[in-house]
Structure 1
């Protein structure tokens, strides 16, 4: 028996591990949720180890699944890149751009619309990502990542320094004259950022005041900003994202610098297509326009 499991089992694992959903993986691969579940079970039986922990409404990877996933990602990426190098990209295939939903809605949306008006023949496919591990495995043409810009095998262009500042609905901002006024108000937390509420509050001279505040925690800024815009509390967000909003204001002037920022990224291992280079150059040029 070959030590390599069937390809359809590996595809099921990669898609389910990336989406953490058998249903989403099935939708992506054009099969049912039950088919994905069966393939994963067969794969686990072949390997002799569980790859997922099944919760009532979610999935998580086991340590074995987490350790194996990078190898599977890299294998599929190399197959895709090798196919493109030998046979070329499909002429009508779109330029794939992957970034977080909040960047799509704010920074990217007006630039992409402008690009489309100038180059309507260039098809662009947007792919959403939230966690750092969401980036890279599918071999996107371009990405907008958040971090320190220290990734290997990629070309990076910084979108500018980042600062974090509170944001809330105008009606709530009227009641916030000083940082001390945050006591008793809901703080909206978006996890995964180097600068969070404790850091900002310490810089504002009110360290520990979060213990007097109710909290709601989300895994992305789209939700924290949506809650804030509806008067649900005060979010901490990147200054560039606040600048594009009309339903949110900054109640305080303090903006805390972050060592992390947004970066435009493309892989170095393959020659970029002309259409991808065109979009890359357009986005880089837009930085000079603010």
Structure 2
């Protein structure tokens, strides 16, 4: 290959690979889904390899696409760094912050309101993420991630130690005097977490209760807590997320310590704007 593919093709690939959607990539880049599809096809023709597997209603990366994506991310990050170093930060650009919806509601929202009251001239854009693969340094100034804090290439601050508690509506809690009373009720599961109901029940020494329970499974904690608040069952959630919620109570004071937790994260190899630095310092202020 004598030359690099056109930049707009690379932009289309990066956006589509990150969102796994030609439509979402088109919205992000301000073009149609058909334009993204055409650019990807031209790029694949130039490279001589397929980058995406087209499913009926979704996309996935081929092994070649997965292998190439980190290089594309690094190239765009370096381009952004170089531009900022030479020309400075573009005024008016918002600080982008990515987090899961549940931590946005429970932890981030009150802090953003307080920050905005103090520094209203700083524009902020929040981006929601559900799965671990949704996260990554590209395109964001700050993230709130969940895990063990074993990521490379980032600066991290822990939001604090975490523990898990069963939670439910007050009416249902009145029917649960002991963990054994969970038998016959619905356990609400959130996928993607290292610790779950099996671990909590084992710690409570009632592991056998799970086989006598019904189950509802969700891909995010916003939904598990909504179901629990509506009386749909008992959810297992982080003690931090229970704060400031009058519609949920913990029927048992038996927290399960977790080796995973929430972390404030930002790329370690990126120019930091004054606005992003102000927000970072504000969010770090009350962390241990």
Q: So what's the TM-score if we normalise by structure 2?
A: 0.92
User: 1:139 and 1:35, CA in 2 relative to 1: closer, same or farther beyond 3 A?
Assistant: closer
2:100 is aligned to: 100
1:42 is matched with which residue? 42
Number of aligned positions between the proteins: 288
**In structure 1, the residue corresponding to 2:246 is in which secondary structure?**
coil
Q: Give how far 1:115 is off.
A: 0.8
Shift of 1:208: 4.4
SS in 2 for 1:286: coil
Which deviates more from structure 2 when the two are superposed, residues 130-139 or residues 18-27?
A: 130-139
Q: Displacement, 1:108?
A: 0.6
Which residue of structure 2 aligns with residue 126 of structure 1? Answer: 126
Deviation at 1:242, TM superposition (A): 0.8
TM superposition shift of 1:211: 3.2
Match of 2:278 in 1: 278
- Of the structure 1 ranges 180-189 and 115-124, higher mean CA displacement relative to structure 2 is found in 180-189
Gaps of 5+ in 1: none
Q: Report deviation, 1:277.
A: 1.8
Please tell me the root mean square deviation across aligned C-alpha atoms, in Å: 2.0
Q: 1:188 to 1:17 in 2, by over 3 A?
A: farther
Q: Give the deviation of 1:104 after TM superposition.
A: 0.8
CA distance, structure 2, for counterparts of residue 27 and residue 93 of structure 1: 18
User: Which runs of 5 or more structure 2 residues have no equivalent in the other structure?
Assistant: none
Query: Corresponding residue for 2:113?
Result: 113
| Counterparts in 2 of 1:15 and 1:214: CA distance versus 1, 3 Å | farther
Task: Indicate how the Cα distance of structure 1 residues 186 and 67 shifts in structure 2: closer, same or farther if over 3 A, else same.
Answer: farther
Q: Deviations over 1:123-167 (max 9, x none)?
A: 111122222332224242222121222322322211110001111
CA distance in 1, matches of 2:158, 2:130: 19
CA–CA distance in 2 between the matches of 1:206 and 1:51?
A: 48
TM-score normalised per structure 1: 0.91
5 Å-filtered alignment, 1:22-101, equals: 22-101=22-101
- The verdict on how the C-alpha distance between 1:42 and 1:285 changes in structure 2, with shifts beyond 3 A counting, is same
Matches within 5 A, 1:113-262: 113-262=113-262
